[in-house]
Amino acid sequence: QGMFPPDVTHDLLGLDMDHFHYERLECNGFVNFMKAGIIAADHITTVSPTYRNEILTPYYGERLERVLQYREADLTGILNGIDEVFYQPKHDPYIEAHYDSKRLSGKEINKTKLRQKMGLPETENVPLISMVTRLTKQKGLDLVRRILHEVLEEHDVQFIVLGTGEREFEDYFRYAEFAFHDKCRAYIGFDEALAHHIYAGSDMFLMPSKFEPCGLGQLIALQYGTIPIVRETGGLHDTVSSYCEEENKGNGFTFSAFNAHDLKFTISRAISFYHQKDEWKSIMKNAMNADYSWSRSAKQYQRIFELLTRSGRDVLE
C-alpha cells in the first residue's frame, strides 16, 4: 500500500506536515500512498464487480475499507480480460490439435498428448484435473492439500499441477506425485508451452481461491473448454456459474464456503457430470462461447473516461 513513517510527508514529499491527517495521507499512524490515491482519484476501479463489493468489508479491505466506503459511489469493478489471440485453441501454436466449440474432437487429442508428455496412463473415460497456479495459500491450496488424496483414492481420476511458490506446497505436490504416481504429476516451475498444453488437454481446472480479485486462470480455462471448479469469490464468482442441468445453463462448478469438504463435494459433482457425455459437451460449449475479451472490458473503461471528461467540461463551462 506504500506505507511509510510520518516524516516522509516533509522529508520525501516536500509537503507541510498539515497534509499528514486522515483526510489526506494518514492511515493508522503512517503515510499511506494507496489511501491518498483513493482519496484524490476522480474515479476508482478494481478488477471485478464482486471484488469491488468485497473490499468494502473488513475481511477483504486490508484496513482501507472505511476509505473505500467513503468513496463507494466512485468505485467500479470491471473484469480483466484475456488476450484472445494468444489464448485461442483454434490457433494456439503450442498445442497438438486445434479445436473450437463447434469441433471439439481436437481436445481429446491434446489430452492424449499431454498424458504422454507427463507419463500418465492413457486410460479411456478418466477425467484429467489440472492447476496452473502460484503455489500460495491465497490460491486455496490448504483446501487442496486436505482432500486431494481422498479424491485420488475414491475416484478414477488424474491430476496435474504446474507452478512454483511456497516451499510447503511445492513439497506437498512432490509427495503427492510419489504417493499417487499412476494418477498425479507435479511440475514445480513454470513453462509457457506446457501451461498451454495443460489448458488444452485437461478436462477440469481447479481454482479454489481464498480470495481472487479477478483471476486469469479460470478465464483461460473457459476459453479452452476446460471446466473450472472454483470458490465463489471475487472474479471467480463473476465469471464461473455452476451448471444447472434443468436449464442447461452454467459453465463450471462452484462452492461458497472456504471449506475442504465443500471443495471435495464439488469436485465429485463435476466428475459425475463428466461421465454424462452430452451434458459435458453442453458445459464445454457454454464455457467456450462466453466473451471475456479485453474489448468488452475496454468499453466499460471508455464509458468511465467519457463520463469523467464530460463532467469536467460541464464544470469548466
Query: Three-state SS for 131?
Result: strand
Query: Three-state SS for 306?
Result: helix
Per-residue pLDDT, 315? 41
Contact 51, 310 (CB under 8 A): no
| HSE value, Cβ hemisphere, 13 Å, CA-based, for 188 | 15
Q: H/E element holding 263?
A: helix 260-274
Tens-binned pLDDT, residue by residue, of the chain (317 aa): 999 999 998 888 898 888 898 888 999 899 999 999 999 999 999 999 999 999 999 999 999 999 999 999 999 999 999 998 899 999 999 999 999 999 999 999 999 999 999 999 999 999 999 999 999 999 999 999 999 999 999 999 999 999 999 999 999 999 999 999 999 999 999 999 999 999 999 999 999 999 999 999 999 999 999 999 999 999 999 999 999 988 889 999 999 999 999 999 999 999 999 999 999 999 999 999 988 899 999 999 999 999 999 866 454 33
105-291 belongs to which CATH class?
alpha beta
Contact 32, 2 (CB under 8 A): yes
Per-residue pLDDT, 312? 62
Instruction: Return the closest-CA partner of residue 107 out of 262, 227, 228, 270.
Output: 227
DSSP conformation class of 30 = E
The set of cell numbers assigned to 119 is 507419463
| HSE value, Cβ hemisphere, 13 Å, CA-based, for 141 | 23
pTM score, whole prediction: 0.94
C-alpha distances out from residue 109 to 28, 96, 116, 255, Å: 56, 7, 11, 30
Give the C-alpha separation, 110 to 125, whole Å.
15
Query: Three-state SS for 80?
Result: coil
Instruction: Return the closest-CA partner of residue 52 out of 238, 184, 185.
Output: 238
Contact 179, 213 (CB under 8 A): no
CATH 3.40.50.2000 range(s) for the chain read 105-291
Region class of 232: left (phi > 0), else alpha (psi between -120 and 50), else beta: beta
C-alpha distances out from residue 258 to 92, 138, 264, Å: 35, 11, 11
C-alpha distances out from residue 49 to 33, 54, 55, Å: 24, 9, 10
Cell 496412463: give the residue: 121
Cell 486410460: give the residue: 123
DSSP letter string over 191-232?
A: -HHHHHHHHHH-SEEEE--S--SS-SHHHHHHHTT-EEEEES
| HSE value, Cβ hemisphere, 13 Å, CA-based, for 292 | 30
Beta strands in the chain (DSSP E): 3-4, 26-27, 30-32, 44-46, 75-77, 128-132, 158-163, 184-188, 204-207, 227-231, 253-255
